[in-house]
Amino acid sequence: MPRYKLTIEYDGTPFVGWQRQANGLSIQEVLESALLAFTGETRVVHGAGRTDAGVHARGQVAHIDLERDWRGDKIREAMNAHLRPHPVAVLLVEKVADDFEARFSATKRHYLYRIVNRRAPPTVARDAVWHVKRKLDAGAMHEAAQRLIGRHDFSTFRAAECQANSPVRTLDMLHVARNGDEIDIRTCARSFLHHQVRSMVGSLEHVGSGKWTADDLEGALHARDRARCGVVAPASGLFLMGVDYGEQPFS
C-alpha cells in the first residue's frame, strides 16, 4: 500500500484545530473528506503536529496510505478541488517509504509568531497576528529569549492539559526581530509542549513592555511553575512554518 507525504497550508481561523473533534470542523476532517471524495477510501490523515484552534500553517506535514499507486500531482490537484471552499491547500504530495511517519520521523519543527506592534488595529492580517498597542523593545525580547535556549524543564510554559510524558525539551532557536510595525518571533525544536510557543511569546511580551527583565524570564523558567508564566499569546499569531526530517524519506 503506497504511502504519501503531504505538505499542507491552512488558515486555522474557522477550525477547532488540526485534530478531528466532535465540537466542530477540523483541518484533519476536511482533508479526510476530500480524500474520500477523490479516492472512495476512508483513510486517516496523520499530521506532524496537532495545531490548536486558530493556529495557521504554511508547512504542515502529514502522511496517508492509499490502495492505488497515484501520481503525487494528481492527488494534490484532486484534493484541492474537493477542499474548496475551505482555506486549506495541499502544496505538495510525494511518495515516501513505508516507515515514514509524519509525526514520529520529524527531527525539527519550525514556528513563527507575528505581533503587530502599533496603536492602530490590524485589518487585512487581523486573524493572523497578535495586536499589541504598547511599544515593545524587540532587542530586549531577543536578548532575554536566549535564556530559554537549550535543554530545560519547560513546566512553566506548559499547558495544564498537556499530555506529554516529560516537560523537558531542547529549544534550538528563539529569535526576535522587528520589521517596521511587526515583530517576528521564530523558534525551532524537535518537539514542543502544548502551548509552549504561545506561553514563551506571552512572557517575552512582558520583557518587551518593560514589565519583566531577562532575569525575570529566566527565573520563571527555573521555577518550573505554570503560575509564573506570563500571558498566553493568542492563537491567531502562530504559524507552523515547516517540519524537517533527518534523512530523505522518499521511496
The tens digit of pLDDT for each residue in 216-240 reads 999 999 999 999 999 999 999 999 9
Q: Is 164 exposed, middle or buried (0-12, 13-18, 19+ CB in 10 A)?
A: middle
Provide the CATH topology of domain 107-242.
Answer: Alpha-Beta Plaits (3.30.70)
Which residues of the chain form beta strands (DSSP E)? 3-10, 46-47, 56-65, 88-96, 106-117, 130-132, 150-153, 168-179, 182-189, 238-245
Give domain limits for the chain. 3-104, 107-242
Question: What CATH number should be reported for the domain whose range is 3-104?
Answer: 3.30.70.580
pLDDT at residue 163, as a whole number: 81
User: Could you give the count of Cα atoms lying within 13 Å of 197 in the half-sphere of its Cβ?
Assistant: 30
pTM above 0.85, yes or no: yes
C-alpha 102/C-alpha 63 separation (Å) is 6
**Any idea which residues carry the catalytic annotation?**
52
pLDDT per position as a tens digit, 30-55: 999 999 999 999 999 999 999 999 99
Q: Which residues of the chain have pLDDT under 50?
A: 249-251
pLDDT at residue 156, as a whole number: 97
Grid cell at residue 204: 517575552
Grid cell at residue 224: 518550573
CA distances from 4 to 30, 66, 136, 146 (A): 17, 8, 43, 37
